[in-house]
Amino acid sequence: MSVKDSHDICDEITAEIKAKLPNAIVMIHTEPCLGVCSGSCNGACEIFDE
């Protein structure tokens, strides 16, 4: 997923939260996958499936 795509998704999530909680301060921080999975993530990626 590109950085732009992840930011677009975060913008959508932020908008949904703000619609329900107008006074909320919403901060979402995305991190790129570095290809090193310790098994602690819950993602559904190729690395996690190995």
Tally of domains in the chain: 1
Long-range contacts of the stretch 6-14 (C-beta < 8 A, 24+): 6/30
Give the span between the Cα atoms of 33 and 41, in whole angstroms.
10
* Residue 31: predicted pLDDT: 79
Of residues 6 and 47, more confidently modeled: 6
Overall average pLDDT of the 28-50 stretch: 65
* Residue 16: predicted pLDDT: 97
Of residues 16 and 45, more confidently modeled: 16
Banded pLDDT at 2 (limits 50, 70, 90) = confident
Q: Domain limits at 28?
A: 3-49
